[in-house]
Amino acid sequence: MNLTLATDDTGEPEIFASLQGEGLSAGVPCTFVRLSRCNLACVWCDTAYTWHFDGDARPHRGGKTYDRKANQVALSPLEAARTIDRLPPRRLVVTGGEPLLQATALAEMAALLPDHAIEVETNGTVEPPARFDAFVGHYTVSPKLAHSGNAAELALPPARLAAWAADPRAWFKFVVAAPADVTQVLALQAGFGITADRIFLMPEGTDTPTLRAREEWLAPLCVEHGFRMSDRLHIHLYGDTRGT
């Protein structure tokens, strides 16, 4: 079974080395593999080229759709592992799209990378099968709030959120666009018993002025509620670009 990856600006698989820009591992050199396809459709998604293909009528604020053939590439788990292994960072971040949609092939790839520490970025809606889960040391779970445009029954399945809350490897990262969004975070925290120190609030935005403006009101809310704040380091360093 092949993996379906996103492409970078040259049409090659989006496998690259960079600094992690978000969450618990921010600032750490990592190798990234970005997979294509997602089961949600966030209106502000900054990787819409992984799912918003021509003919997809789901709304996105950019209004742009992408040619599927030009923005997807298939690699075998072995081909992907060889490409990853050529890059120096031994911490691997598997992202998307929603990477757990391809967990069966990811398990084959992970078995070929025994010296890599594996981190998965997920929207939290998909249960990782045991075979792949055994390779994962860290999950960044990013449940999508109402402002994402996704229906709650799709984006916030209670059984999945409860399972993540019970998994000590899972850290929660909520994308926040307005102070009112924090009210929903607080409700989810209380409903699923998530300790404040496992929650990151991250401003939504794809440019430095927007991020800085939102961090001005987000920082005191984090202090008030005991949450961590996540910046988006890669945006400040490289802009809203692929392969960074």
**Domain limits, the chain:** 3-238
CATH fold group of domain 3-238: TIM Barrel (3.20.20)
Summarised one tens digit per residue, pLDDT across range 207-230 is 999 999 999 999 999 999 999 999
pLDDT-derived band at 44 (thresholds 50, 70, 90) equals very high
Which of 16, 238, 230, 235 minimizes the C-alpha distance to 141?
230
Q: What's the confidence (pLDDT) of residue 5? A: 99
The answer to whether residues 144 and 155 touch, using CB atoms and an 8 Å cutoff, is yes
Whole-model pTM?
Answer: 0.98
**What mean pLDDT, rounded, does the chain reach?**
98
Q: What's the confidence (pLDDT) of residue 71? A: 98
The answer to whether residues 150 and 42 touch, using CB atoms and an 8 Å cutoff, is yes
Cα 68 to chain centroid, rounded: 20
